Amino acid sequence: MIQRLTDKDFQKVTSTGVTVTDFWATWCPPCRMQVPILEETAKALDGKVKFTKMDVDANPDTPAKFGIMSIPTLVIKKDGKVVNKLVGLHSKDQLEHVLAQYTD
| Backbone torsions φ then ψ of 10, nearest 5 degrees | -55, -55
Give the domain range for residue 9.
2-98
In this predicted structure, what is the pLDDT of residue 34?
Answer: 97
**Contact criterion met (CB below 8 Å) for 75 and 82:** yes
| Helical H segments across the chain, by residue range | 10-13, 29-44, 61-65, 92-99
In this predicted structure, what is the pLDDT of residue 36?
Answer: 97
Q: Quick one: pLDDT band at residue 51, thresholds 50, 70, 90?
A: very high
| Residue 104 belongs to some domain of the structure | no
- Of residues 79 and 104, more confidence is placed in 79
Q: Tell me the CA distances in angstroms from 12 to 16, 17, 74, one per residue in order.
A: 8, 11, 18
At 54-97, the pLDDT tens digits run 999 999 999 999 999 999 999 999 999 999 999 999 999 999 99
| Residue 103 belongs to some domain of the structure | no
Active-site positions? 28, 31
Q: What pTM was estimated for this model as a whole?
A: 0.96
**Contact criterion met (CB below 8 Å) for 52 and 2:** yes
CATH code, domain carrying 84: 3.40.30.10
Q: Quick one: pLDDT band at residue 1, thresholds 50, 70, 90?
A: confident
| Residue 77 belongs to some domain of the structure | yes
In this predicted structure, what is the pLDDT of residue 88?
Answer: 97
Q: Is the pLDDT assigned to residue 104 strictly greater than 80? A: no
**Total tally of structural domains belonging to the chain:** 1
